[in-house]
């Protein structure tokens, strides 16, 4: 996951900003002080001379609920994530392999496995400079490709390969395996914290009390950040990934991700230790040079955001499924050997991550006239439900064997943290169903908004507790 350029302004604020309109250009100029330095961010109607630009002025009143996802696709419509698989199926069956929207200044959404695959691998026509859709686009003053704001996810070749190689060693299987006892102990502690359970009566929130804490704690430990800040990390995730329809510049102030990362980098430079942040600052090099603060900070932002919401959502969706499908829950308890297959099927059927690209140039994509700087969504979850790729794709098959899903992405940006995500998901599910052999959905589920799909509130009634 990555931050977008709108959030970049939000990140950089450490005090109340001042706003003025440039009389010559008509651009909005936002000035703020940080560490004794005056920073200016320019928002306008074209890329030239701006940090962020909009093709059309944004006004929330211009857009109502989606009436037709084929021509007015909006992944941030509150009705989308709760029913996304039905939306993808209906569009494909109606002969719409690529949806379109005028929202966000123009956006496309290919929905078949082949088309998603094609965009993901085409780094000539599609850039990763910004991978979270919002109403603002990066202007000429923003960090350009091929590096981008949060490498390697925001990087294009050839720099992408350089940045990715730096982050692969800490996420290799032998580095991730030792985390299993820590993750298992944390899951058990979270279950203990739910208190006395009265089977048949007690309702717990499996998202708020359980799923959301697991990846936050793990990535916080890996980066070497204070435990007291875990709640702030969830705010950072929300600001980055769910507030995408707000006008550029509206997110300045509040919990400041950029300032926070700067403080952590300063602390790690003064007090190096054995964690991922010190690894980036002290051990890795590019062309014989250590990483500067901007580059290291961008990578930390990526790890913090990507390491939390994706896995949190996958854990929640898996428990949501089991709460409604007792036959799958029973099968996993009766036959533990099926659990690895079930984990992959959870990832396929409930893949949380949709990424984005921007059109690098005007391109005719299978009859779709994409213009330079159009957003292009990459809904990997939709690719995982394509009947031309998977047999009976809308059915959860707990022991599905042929399962080459795209939950971790396709192309050069395939998730480098997949080993960690699988570990966290497996242990979280194992411990939950071991403690609670039977449970059921117990109320309305609130789903996320935007490119990461998962339950944010998940009430389940506990029907049985292991003794």
Task: Tell which residue, 329, 301, 352, 375, has the closest CA to residue 126.
Answer: 375
CATH superfamily entry for domain 5-464: Cytochrome P450 (1.10.630.10)
- Is residue 322 within 8 A of residue 433, CB to CB? The reply is yes
Distance in angstroms (rounded) separating the CA atoms of residues 176 and 300: 18
State pLDDT tens for residues 438-452. 999 999 999 999 999
Q: Let me know if 294 is exposed, middle or buried by CB neighbors in 10 A (0-12, 13-18, 19+).
A: middle
pLDDT at 378: 97
pLDDT for 303: 93
Dist CA 385 CA 267 (whole Å): 45
> What's the mean per-residue pLDDT of the chain?
92
Q: Which two tokens stand for residue 217?
A: 């704690």
pLDDT exceeds 60 at position 346:
yes
Alpha-carbon distance of 118 to 410, in angstroms, equals 9
The pTM of the whole model exceeds 0.85: yes
What is the distance between the alpha carbons of residues 370 and 375, in angstroms, rounded to a whole number?
9
Between β-strands 107-110 and 375-379, what pairing exists: parallel, antiparallel or unpaired? parallel
Is residue 56 within 8 Å of 40, Cβ to Cβ? no
Task: List CB contacts of 424: < 8 A, sequence separation 6 or more.
Answer: 183, 214, 215, 218, 311, 315
CA distances from 98 to 73, 112, 130, 285 (A): 10, 8, 20, 41
Domain residue spans of the chain: 5-464
**pLDDT band (50, 70, 90) for residue 22:** very high
pLDDT value for 251 = 59
CA Rg, the chain, in Å?
22
Q: Percentage of the chain surpassing pLDDT 90?
A: 82
> Cβ of 78: how many Cβ atoms within 10 Å?
12
What sections of 193-285 are H helices per DSSP? 213-223, 230-241, 257-270, 276-278
């Amino acid at each position: 996951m990555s931050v977008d350029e709108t959030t970049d302004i939000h990140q950089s604020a450490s005090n109340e900003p001042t706003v003025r309109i440039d009389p010559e250009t008509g651009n909005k100029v936002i000035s703020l002080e940080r560490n004794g330095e005056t920073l200016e961010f320019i928002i306008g109607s074209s890329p030239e001379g701006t940090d962020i630009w909009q093709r059309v002025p944004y006004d929330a009143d211009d857009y109502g609920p989606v009436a037709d996802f084929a021509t007015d696709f909006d992944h941030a419509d509150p009705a989308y994530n709760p029913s996304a698989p039905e939306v993808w199926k209906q569009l494909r069956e109606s002969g719409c392999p690529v949806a379109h929207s005028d929202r966000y200044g123009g956006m496309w959404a290919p929905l078949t496995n082949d088309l998603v695959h094609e965009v993901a691998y085409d780094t000539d026509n599609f850039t990763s400079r910004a991978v979270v859709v919002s109403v603002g686009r990066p202007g000429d003053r923003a960090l350009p490709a091929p590096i981008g704001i949060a490498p390697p996810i925001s990087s294009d070749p050839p720099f992408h390969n350089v940045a990715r190689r730096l982050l692969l060693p800490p996420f290799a299987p032998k580095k991730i395996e030792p985390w299993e006892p820590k993750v298992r102990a944390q899951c058990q502690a979270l279950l203990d914290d739910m208190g006395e359970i009265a089977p048949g009566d007690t309702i717990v929130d499996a998202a708020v009390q359980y799923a959301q804490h697991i990846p936050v704690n793990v990535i916080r430990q890996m980066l070497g950040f204070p435990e007291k800040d875990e709640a702030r990390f969830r705010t950072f995730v929300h600001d980055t990934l769910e507030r995408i329809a707000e006008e550029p510049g509206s997110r300045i102030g509040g919990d400041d991700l950029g300032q926070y990362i700067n403080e952590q980098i300063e602390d790690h430079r003064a007090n190096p230790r054995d964690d991922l942040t010190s690894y980036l600052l002290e051990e890795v090099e590019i062309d014989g040079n250590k990483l500067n603060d901007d580059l290291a900070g961008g990578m930390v932002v990526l790890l913090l955001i990507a390491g939390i919401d994706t896995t949190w959502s996958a854990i929640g969706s898996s428990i949501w499924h089991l709460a409604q499908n007792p036959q799958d829950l029973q099968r996993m308890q009766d036959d533990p050997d099926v659990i690895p297959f079930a984990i992959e099927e959870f990832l396929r059927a409930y893949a949380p991550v949709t990424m984005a690209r921007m059109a690098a140039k005007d391109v005719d994509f299978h009859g779709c006239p994409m213009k330079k700087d159009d957003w292009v969504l990459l809904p990997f979850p939709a690719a995982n439900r394509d009947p031309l790729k998977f047999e009976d794709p809308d059915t959860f098959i707990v022991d599905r064997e042929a399962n080459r899903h795209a939950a971790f992405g396709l192309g050069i940006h395939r998730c480098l943290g997949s080993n960690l995500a699988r570990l966290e998901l497996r242990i979280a599910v194992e411990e939950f169903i071991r403690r609670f052999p039977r449970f059921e959905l117990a109320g309305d589920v609130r789903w996320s908004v935007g490119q990461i799909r998962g339950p944010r509130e998940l009430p389940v009634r506990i029907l049985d507790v292991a003794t």
